[in-house]
Amino acid sequence: MVECLRRCREEVGGAAMIDGRYPPLQPDLAFLGAMPKGSLGQSYAELMLRRGYDPEFFRPRPLRSDAHWLTQRIATTHDIHHVVSGFGTTPEGESGVLAITATQIGFPAYVMLNTAAQVSRFRFKTKSYALMGRAIAHGNSIGFSAQPLWMARWEEGWDWPVEQWRERLGITKPATGEPYGLQPVPG
């Protein structure tokens, strides 16, 4: 985690965000769901509600160290990363999102989870190994080319269209449309 924090602090504005303990995300899904269609807030609320995810699952905890703060930030914004990167919530989509953060800052848990996912697929589910590898490679590509997602101040732009966020962050090839991408809501 030491190396991960070093990388975060080296980002322009990273040390200030960590030292200032930028507040943890506490979304109001009813408020966000009422935002314009295609906005980050509406898209995030839709994902959370459609999947039955509890936004309080990653409620704020004591932040005794920089590592605690960063772990909280990564955990509370993970599902927003799905929305802006276009990765779905299948195992492959999850690994794609984890790959972005693993590539950008070397977040240890995500590096280990993706390594385990690849070994597991190679060993036990060889028919889906290639798809898992593609999703992780796609996430790595986004991770190398995009602005650091952990630093995005999502809370200050809930009403922005997802496409505007992608442009701002440099996500030029989201995973939408891929087998591991977010699936459109039937409508």
Res. 185: pLDDT tops 70: no
pLDDT, tens digit, for every residue of 76-134? 899 999 999 999 999 999 999 999 999 999 999 999 998 999 889 888 888 989 999 99
Domain membership of residue 134 (yes or no) is yes
For residue 153, the model assigns a pLDDT of 95
Domain membership of residue 15 (yes or no) is yes
**Which pLDDT band, with edges at 50, 70 and 90, does 22 fall under?**
confident
The whole-number average pLDDT for the span 41-69 is 87
Rounded to two decimals, what is the model's pTM? Answer: 0.92
Res. 187: pLDDT tops 60: no
Domain membership of residue 177 (yes or no) is no
For residue 123, the model assigns a pLDDT of 85
For residue 62, the model assigns a pLDDT of 76
Domain membership of residue 118 (yes or no) is yes
* DSSP character at residue 151: G
> How big is the CA angle at 71 (ends 67 and 75), to the nearest 5 degrees?
175
Cα first-last separation, the chain: 43
Closest-CA residue to 78 (of 62, 93, 63) = 93
For residue 132, the model assigns a pLDDT of 95
**Which pLDDT band, with edges at 50, 70 and 90, does 18 fall under?**
very high
Domain membership of residue 187 (yes or no) is no
Q: The tokens of 173 are what?
A: 């090839």
> How is the chain split among helix, strand and coil, in percent rounded to 5?
65, 0, 35
Rg of the chain (C-alpha set): 16
The whole-number average pLDDT for the span 57-75 is 85
Share of residues in the chain with pLDDT > 70 (%): 96
| 3-state secondary structure labels for all residues of 121-139 | HHHHCHHHHHHHHHHHHHH
Count: domains in the chain: 1
For residue 63, the model assigns a pLDDT of 79
Domain membership of residue 91 (yes or no) is yes
Domain membership of residue 68 (yes or no) is yes
Res. 168: pLDDT tops 80: yes
Res. 157: pLDDT tops 60: yes
Range of the structural domain that residue 120 is part of = 2-169
**Which pLDDT band, with edges at 50, 70 and 90, does 186 fall under?**
low
Domain membership of residue 101 (yes or no) is yes
**Which pLDDT band, with edges at 50, 70 and 90, does 16 fall under?**
very high
